[in-house]
Amino acid sequence: MIIDGHAHACGTYLNGKSIIGYLDSHGIDKVLLCAGEPESDKNYSYPMLSDTFKSTNLGYFFNKIICFATKMSGVANHIDEQNRFVYNLSMQYPERILNAYWVNPQDEDCLEKLNEFYKLYNFRIIKMHQCWNRFDICDEKSIDIIKWATEKNMPIFIHLLSEKQVFQFIKVANKFNNTTFIVAHMIGFEKINKNTKNSNIYYDLSAPQLYPMRIIKKAINEVSSTKLILGSDTPYGIDNINRIQKRLKQLSLPEKDLDNIMGNNLSNLLGLQI
């Protein structure tokens, strides 16, 4: 099974027809979809800077750009309606589209929204994004959300903002050893893997423009294929799935390892049938 484990409901994935068309043409079985830019069919082409610049700080650099663009566009103001939009897409194609719930700890009533949406739409995973919503992972609302997810045995997919927030995340992950986290874009991988005792941390391979090839090699060696998850971050990078698959092929991994990364790991986390 192949799952695009990180994508947004815009660009190529703006509507059901274009989503299924892309999945079929690329041999992808399912996509895990979260909120995106409202009514935008724009796709973004980013150069593979990570092939030239080997620094793991590229992710932090791009985060600054994302923060600026998000603030200027105001897209973060539409997360509630986009959560509903994603759910409606998943209802059109329930066998192919999985809906994620994007929670904003800055909302005063974020827990009330979380409970209400869960009762209505029974989502499988929570998304948190520190570039769109400037929260501290250690603040009270964030901790309440983490406790909620832990009680529901639900993974939390998180995009970390900065090196400071990576260290804050390490504190939280060590406190919540039974909570499953998926860290977006391999951000902070080396520091997180070195300093956490939580064995339930997974890493998303999407946006290969942001991290060098050596990070994938290191992750395979240190946490194994059982902790890595395929993703595209559509529409932020055209055909990122192909770029990641190309990198994985260069490693000449056994078929079992490829199966883990391409879909089995996420399938197990979300309780899907393989």
pLDDT tens for 117-173 read 999 988 999 999 999 999 999 999 999 999 999 999 999 999 999 999 999 999 999
Q: Residue 88: what pLDDT?
A: 97
Q: Residue 274: what pLDDT?
A: 59
- Looking at the chain, the whole-number percentage of residues with pLDDT higher than 90 is 87
| Residue 46 confidence class, pLDDT cut points 50, 70, 90 | confident
Whether residue 55 is predicted with pLDDT greater than 80 in this model: the reply is no
pLDDT tens for 165-202 read 999 999 999 999 999 999 999 999 999 999 999 999 99
Q: Which domains does the chain show, CATH number per domain?
A: 3-270 (3.20.20.140)
pTM, entire model? 0.96
Across the chain, what does the average pLDDT equal?
Answer: 94
pLDDT tens for 85-108 read 999 999 999 999 999 999 999 999
Q: Residue 51: what pLDDT?
A: 81
3-state secondary structure the chain: CCEEEEEECCHHHCCHHHHHHHHHHCCCCEEEEECCCCCCCCCECCCCHHHCCCCCCHHHHHHHHHHHHHHHHCHHHHHHHHHHHHHHHHHHCCCCEEECEECCCCCCCHHHHHHHHHHHHCCCCEEEECCCCCCCCCCHHHHHHHHHHHHCCCCEEEECCCHHHHHHHHHHHHHCCCCCEEEHHHCCHHHHHHHCCCCCEEEECCCHHHCCHHHHHHHHHHCCHHHEECCCCECECCCHHHHHHHHHHHCCCCHHHHHHHHHHHHHHHHCCCC
Whether residue 224 is predicted with pLDDT greater than 80 in this model: the reply is yes
Average pLDDT of span 226-243:
95
